[in-house]
A and B are shown apart, each in its own frame.
Chain A
Amino acid sequence: MSTAISVAGLVKTFGRTRALDGLDLEVATGEVHGFLGPNGSGKSTTIRVLLGLLRADSGRATLLGGDPWHEAVRLHRRLVYVPGDVTLWPNLSGGEVIDLLGRLRGGLNRARRDELLQRFELDPTKKGRTYSKGNRQKVAVVAALASDAELLVLDEPTSGLDPLMEAVFQETIREITDDGRTVLLSSHILAEVEALCDRVSIIRAGRTVESGTLTELRHLTRTSVTVETAQPIDGLTDLAGVHDPVVEDRHARFDVDTAQLDSAMRHLAGLGIRSLTSQPPTLEELFLRHYGDELAERTGNGAGR
């Protein structure tokens, strides 16, 4: 079994709202897959379909080789889930909730549970209503990580965690993936995705707009280049794939499509490069590129620029 999750052409509507509009998603066994998208783009809906909580209108979804709707119970024994907004029972303590979820799943590792409680500095005796948002999140994270399920479905699992806890979380996820387990990680924290994920899928308005390894995705986007040459720079603006060039005699700053980087460099080399700095695109830039028009529209309207 090499594919943990396979989704094709998934459609889900709520009344008139088309939450998923032909979404595709492939997650290989053993990888950490980042699932990115702006608020309301359909990440949680996709996850709920994969968990068999929602029934898709059309399209195909396979999870661990089974049908998430019809074989929900059997599949759930092999996965754990952390929701992005954890609601606890007000009068149950955190420790009780962790034990309950573990037992319902078919048993939990006592030693592992206690170790995680310590690492996440979580007091298991507090009642659900007295936890802060971050601590409620920790209850769900500890309950999920204390199991040895082969698939972890994490929907913004670290929302509300402080940076120290975020680091503990990343460390724990790395240990888990070293065991060859699969993680689907929906997140807004791009640094977290960059640090953990082997591959990412970016979705927007219920469709997948980009999918691949971070390297592949970088290839699809632009590199920023600052260069100083021996001879005055000309002809740069006419090169394919060069964007927003600012040329001042022998200095230039520009962005170039990563696919066209080579031809730009050849052109500059002919002019005698004195110094050159190039920055690979960050995930943030990848992300912004896909929501860029939305962003431009908003700032354009708002600030009048």
Chain B
Amino acid sequence: MTATGTAIDAVAATPGPAAAAGGSTLTGTAALVRFILRRDRVRLPVWIVGLTVLVLITASSVKSLYPTQADLDEGAAPMYGNAAVIALNGPTYGIDTYGGQMVFQIGSFGYVTVALMGMFLVGRHTRADEETGRTELLRATVLGRDAPVAAVLVVAAGAFALLGALISLSLVSQDVPAGGSWLYGTAMGAFGFLFACVTALTAQVSEHNRAALGLAGVAVGASFVLRAVGDTGGGALSWLSPMGWAQYTKPFAGDRWWPLLLVVAASVALIAGALALLARRDLGGGLVQPRPGPAHAAPSLGRPVGLAVRLQRAMLASWAAGLVLTGVSYGSLGEDVEDLLGDNDAFADIIAQAGGELTDSFFATSTLMIALIAGGFAVSSTLRLRSEESSGRAEVLLVTGVGRTRWAASHLAVALGGSVVLMVASGLGMGLTYATIADDLGEAGPILGAALAFVPALWVLVGVAFALFGLAPRWAAAAWAALVGAFVVGLLGELIDLPSAVMNLSPFQHVPAMPAEGFDPVPALALTAVAAGLVAAGFAGFHRRDAGY
């Protein structure tokens, strides 16, 4: 608190040169940039170093996995026609070169992660501050209207330039061509900045940071799905996706810089749009004016669980919509999987030897991806308990005769039940779409089953978040680290050769790869038991500790 106070003084005490001349909408930007750097002095370096390390580990494991060019060629051969891998990672440009293979392995996951970094950075310093009233305090000083947005974008530009350079240097350090390395680093940085700009725009639209980030998340998801469908299909759709633009730079496979112009142009347009909206709206307001609500509460709003559902239903509905769309997109690819393979005999042999069916393994991978994304809901829904508590809203409920157990159980129920809803919805979306295309309704069942098999893994994530909430509330946000860990294990674990003890920490590793493999009740029961244990620990901790701030 003291630190924030000092920084606010600094902002107030440093009227820029423009202030003397009557002031512009950008007055005070420089002071705010310093303020943001001060507030994010830990967070930003963690993001930048974390992403760089991820790139470095992935790149060096490609080297150790394929010691010779012959190994690389052999490893690359089956990937050309594997729709599951292409949908997940990206187009197969230059994967017979070390550089190209590294870029392919970092894949869409890398792009999504830099986008998240940009989203959280901008959301935190624009709408989140406005929502809590901090922006009002700052804007009452000598500070231009556009300064908060401008300042965070300046910080984002600097952070992504640094991140891009570090990614490039990481690749250069693995002895791959410098030209491709710098192109790839630039593409990653530019893509991250683009989503910083997307969030700058969505932050003007919604009154709530949660919703602003949700809208930006939809944009990330759409750009991933469009690209996945485009890359596994004809390719035209990928040009509608910013992720497609970044990947079409073809690092190490022709090195084209011009697609980045699209990214730059889109960024400029988004900034212009954001500033135009900012000039038209009130501080604290969004584009939609709030409507009056009912004077009396509906009967459902009489129990804690009714309130929890009411508070979380919009979020659950948007997650469900997003995951159904993702499921439908993957489902629609199912028929193409075999075609894509074409005459790639090497891969067909491998699949045949493994005894699996190509389409089944595609759906197994797709379901894992969907379940990992649904993990975002599981964590954020459970952590709603913490935000309700730290905002002071839980306090008034806890003194109405609602015990701690009932209150905590209400949001817990939404998190556990919501996880089931998401997997059922996405599984049905994927299964029914594929069944329709394949003209065999029987295909839907196994895919739905595969999706449901991940429910206990999601419950473990809920359990981790709940245990942290009960036992170490100040560290509750560390539950996100568990999800990030599950992503790393699930998408990169085998490539970077993580020890199996580490791999086994992720609950998602214990779910059988249905429909390629059969259902196994043992891991399902074991994961459910682990989740139950974590929930019990959370309740025990919550009963013993102080409630409130």
Interface residues on chain A, size class:
35 or more
B548 within 8 Å of A (CB atoms) = yes
Residue of B208, B297, B393, B546 touching A88 (CB-CB under 8 A): B393
Decide: A79 and B295 in contact? CB cutoff 8 A: no
B398 within 8 Å of A (CB atoms) = yes
Decide: B547 and A54 in contact? CB cutoff 8 A: yes
B481 within 8 Å of A (CB atoms) = no
Q: How far is the CA of A106 from the CA of B302 in the complex (A)?
A: 9
Count: A-B pairs, CB below 8 Å: 109
B5 within 8 Å of A (CB atoms) = no
Q: Closest B-chain residue to A48, C-beta based?
A: B548
Chain B residues with Cβ below 8 Å from A83 are 392, 395-396
Decide: A53 and B548 in contact? CB cutoff 8 A: yes
Q: How far is the CA of A153 from the CA of B400 in the complex (A)?
A: 12
Decide: A89 and B401 in contact? CB cutoff 8 A: no
Decide: A92 and B546 in contact? CB cutoff 8 A: no
Decide: B290 and A53 in contact? CB cutoff 8 A: no
* CB contact list, A100-140 vs B, under 8 A: 100-101, 103-106, 124-127, 129-130, 140
Residue of B207, B301, B391, B396 touching A96 (CB-CB under 8 A): B301
B402 within 8 Å of A (CB atoms) = yes
Decide: A95 and B297 in contact? CB cutoff 8 A: yes
Q: How far is the CB of B294 from chain A (nearest CB, A)?
A: 6
A273 within 8 Å of B (CB atoms) = no
Q: How far is the CB of A95 from chain B (nearest CB, A)?
A: 4
Decide: A104 and B401 in contact? CB cutoff 8 A: yes
Decide: A73 and B403 in contact? CB cutoff 8 A: yes
A60 within 8 Å of B (CB atoms) = no
Decide: A92 and B293 in contact? CB cutoff 8 A: yes
| Also in contact, A101 and B396, with CB within 8 A (given A87-B391, A127-B290) | yes
Q: How far is the CA of A93 from the CA of B298 in the complex (A)?
A: 11
Chain A residues with Cβ below 8 Å from B547 are 53-54
Decide: A104 and B400 in contact? CB cutoff 8 A: yes
Chain A residues with Cβ below 8 Å from B290 are 127, 129-130
The prevalent SS among residues of B at the interface is: loop
Q: How far is the CA of A70 from the CA of B401 in the complex (A)?
A: 13
Decide: B399 and A76 in contact? CB cutoff 8 A: yes
Chain A residues with Cβ below 8 Å from B399 are 51-53, 76, 79-81, 153
Q: How far is the CA of A155 from the CA of B545 in the complex (A)?
A: 22
Decide: B297 and A126 in contact? CB cutoff 8 A: no
Chain B residues with Cβ below 8 Å from A88 are 393
Q: How far is the CB of A71 from chain B (nearest CB, A)?
A: 11
Chain A residues with Cβ below 8 Å from B402 are 73, 76, 104
Chain A residues with Cβ below 8 Å from B296 are 95-96, 99, 124
| Also in contact, A89 and B393, with CB within 8 A (given A54-B547, A105-B401) | yes
B311 within 8 Å of A (CB atoms) = yes
A65 within 8 Å of B (CB atoms) = no
| Also in contact, A81 and B401, with CB within 8 A (given A53-B548, A96-B301) | no
Decide: A104 and B304 in contact? CB cutoff 8 A: yes
Q: How far is the CA of A99 from the CA of B290 in the complex (A)?
A: 21
Q: How far is the CA of A51 from the CA of B403 in the complex (A)?
A: 12
Q: How far is the CA of A72 from the CA of B544 in the complex (A)?
A: 13
Decide: B297 and A99 in contact? CB cutoff 8 A: yes
A272 within 8 Å of B (CB atoms) = no
Chain A residues with Cβ below 8 Å from B521 are none
Question: B-facing mask of A251-281, CB < 8 A → 1, else 0?
Answer: 0000000000000000000000000000000
Q: How far is the CA of A105 from the CA of B546 in the complex (A)?
A: 22
Q: Closest B-chain residue to A47, C-beta based?
A: B399
Which of B311, B398, B400 gathers the greatest number of chain A CB atoms within 10 Å? Answer: B400
Q: How far is the CA of A65 from the CA of B404 in the complex (A)?
A: 21
A292 within 8 Å of B (CB atoms) = no
Q: How far is the CA of A127 from the CA of B288 in the complex (A)?
A: 14
Q: How far is the CA of A268 from the CA of B395 in the complex (A)?
A: 58
Decide: A72 and B311 in contact? CB cutoff 8 A: no
Q: How far is the CB of A90 from chain B (nearest CB, A)?
A: 7
Q: How far is the CA of A298 from the CA of B304 in the complex (A)?
A: 48
Decide: A81 and B293 in contact? CB cutoff 8 A: no
A85 within 8 Å of B (CB atoms) = yes
Q: How far is the CA of A104 from the CA of B306 in the complex (A)?
A: 11
| Also in contact, A93 and B395, with CB within 8 A (given A72-B403, A106-B401) | no
| Also in contact, A55 and B295, with CB within 8 A (given A83-B395, A101-B400) | no
A77 within 8 Å of B (CB atoms) = yes
B310 within 8 Å of A (CB atoms) = yes
Q: How far is the CA of A229 from the CA of B331 in the complex (A)?
A: 104
Decide: B397 and A104 in contact? CB cutoff 8 A: yes
| Also in contact, A81 and B396, with CB within 8 A (given A76-B401, A106-B401) | yes
Chain B residues with Cβ below 8 Å from A76 are 398-402
Q: How far is the CB of A163 from chain B (nearest CB, A)?
A: 25
Residue of A100, A129, A130 touching B302 (CB-CB under 8 A): A100
Residue of A73, A80, A90, A124 touching B208 (CB-CB under 8 A): A90
Q: How far is the CA of A95 from the CA of B298 in the complex (A)?
A: 10
Q: How far is the CA of A101 from the CA of B291 in the complex (A)?
A: 22
Q: Closest A-chain residue to B284, C-beta based?
A: A129
Q: Which 6 A-B pairs have the closest CB atoms?
A: A93-B293, A99-B297, A103-B302, A125-B292, A104-B400, A95-B295
Q: List 5 A-B contacts (CB under 8 A).
A: A53-B546, A55-B544, A76-B398, A104-B304, A106-B401
By a beta-carbon cutoff of 8 Å, the part of chain A in contact with chain B is 48, 51-55, 72-73, 76-77, 79-81, 83, 85-93, 95-101, 103-106, 124-127, 129-130, 140, 153
Given known contacts A52-B399, A95-B294, what 7 new A-B pairs fall within 8 Å (CB)?
A54-B548, A99-B296, A99-B297, A101-B397, A103-B301, A104-B401, A125-B292
